[in-house]
Chains A and B, each alone.
Chain A
Amino acid sequence: MGLELWLVWAGVSVVGAVLALDDTGLAQTWFSQPLPAALLVGLVAGDPAAAMVPGMCMQLMVLGNLPVGAATTLDATSATVGVVGGALVAGFSLPTSSSLLSVWSQDTGAQVGLMLVLMALVSHGAGHLVSLQRRNHLVWKLAVYREIRDGRFAVVGGLHRRALALTAARGAAVSLLVAVLVAMAWRPLLTALPARLLEILALAPLLTVPLAVGSLSERHGHRRAAPVLLVTVALGALMSWRLL
Chain B
Amino acid sequence: MSALRPVSLPTSVQRDLWWRSLALQAVWNHQRMQNLGLLYVLGVWARWRGLDADECRRLARRHVGYFNTNPYLAPYLLGGLARLEDEHREGGQPPEALLGAFRDSLSRACGALGDQLTWLGGRPAVMLLAALQGWWFGWWWSLVILAAATVVQLALRWRAVGRGWALGLDVVSVFERRIWHCAILWSGRLGLVLTGLLAGLFFAGGMASATGPGAVRLLAVLVIGVGVAVVPSRRHTCEAQFLVGLALLAALGLVI
Cβ-based interface call for A12 (8 A): no
A200 contacts B by Cβ under 8 Å:
yes
In the bound complex, what is the Cα–Cα distance between A208 and B199 (angstroms)? 10
Say yes or no: is B98 at the interface (Cβ < 8 Å to chain A): no
User: Are B240 and A124 in contact, with the CB atoms below 8 A?
Assistant: yes
Contact yes or no, A39 B143, CB < 8 A: yes
> Do residues A220 and B225 form an inter-chain contact, with CB atoms below 8 A?
no
Which of B3-11, B77-85, B170-178, B190-198 faces chain A? B190-198
Q: Which of B36, B39, B139, B149 is the most central at the interface, judged by chain A CB atoms within 10 Å of its CB?
A: B139
Q: Mark A117-145, 1 if CB is under 8 A from B, else 0.
A: 10111011000000000110110110000
Is A236 touching B196 in the complex (CB atoms < 8 A)? yes
B residues sitting closer than 8 Å to A (CB atoms) are: 22-23, 25-31, 33, 36-37, 39-40, 42-43, 46-47, 51, 53, 55-61, 64, 68, 71-72, 111, 115, 119-120, 123-124, 126-128, 130-131, 134-136, 138-140, 142-143, 146, 149-150, 153-154, 188-189, 191-206, 208-209, 211-213, 217-218, 221-222, 224-230, 237-243, 245-246, 249-250, 253
Which of A1-9, A68-76, A82-90, A182-190 makes up part of the contact surface?
Answer: A68-76
Of the candidates B33, B130, B199, B209, the one whose C-beta lies within 8 Å of that of A36 is B130
Determine if A100 and B202 form an interchain contact, defined as CB atoms under 8 angstroms apart.
yes
Inside 8 A of B221's CB, which chain A residues have their CB? 203, 206-207, 210
Residue ID in chain B nearest A139 by CB atoms: B29
Q: Given that A66-B120, A213-B195 are contacting pairs, would A160 and B57 also be in contact in the complex, using a CB cutoff of 8 Å?
A: no
Inter-chain pairs besides A120-B242, A206-B212, A207-B245, 19 sampled, C-beta below 8 Å: A25-B23, A33-B123, A59-B131, A63-B127, A124-B240, A134-B28, A148-B39, A156-B36, A160-B26, A206-B221, A211-B238, A211-B241, A213-B226, A216-B191, A220-B188, A228-B192, A232-B194, A240-B208, A241-B208
Answer whether A151 and B28 are a contact pair too, CB < 8 Å, given A104-B212, A116-B242, A156-B39.
no
Contacts of A218 in B (CB 8 A): 229-230
Docked-complex contact B136 and A243, CB < 8 angstroms? yes
B203 touches A237 (CB 8 A): yes
Contacting pair A207 B238 (CB below 8 A)? no
Q: Are A215 and B238 also in contact (CB < 8 A) when A35-B127, A237-B204 are?
A: yes
A120 to B39 Cα, complex, angstroms: 36
Contacts A69-B68, A151-B58 given; does A120 touch B204 at CB 8 Å: no
Return B58 CB to nearest CB of chain A, in Å. 7
Q: Residues of B contacting A234 with CB < 8 Å?
A: 200
Q: Is the interface of A mostly helix, strand, loop or mixed?
A: helix
Would A160 and B23 count as touching, CB distance under 8 A?
yes
> Considering only CB atoms, which chain A residue lies closest to B147 in the complex?
A31
Contact A101–B134 (Cβ < 8 Å): no
Q: How large is the interface on A (under 10, 10 to 19, 20 to 34, 35 or more residues)?
A: 35 or more
The CA of A234 and the CA of B204, in the complex, are separated in Å by 9
Task: Identify A232's interface contact among B46, B146, B154, B192, CB under 8 A.
Answer: B192
User: Cβ of B134 and Cβ of A232 under 8 Å apart?
Assistant: no
| CB-based contact B201/A153 at 8 Å | no
A66 close to B196 (CB less than 8 A): no
| Interface pair B238/A159, CB less than 8 Å apart | no
Query: A217 to chain B: which residues have CB within 8 Å?
Result: 192, 226, 229-230
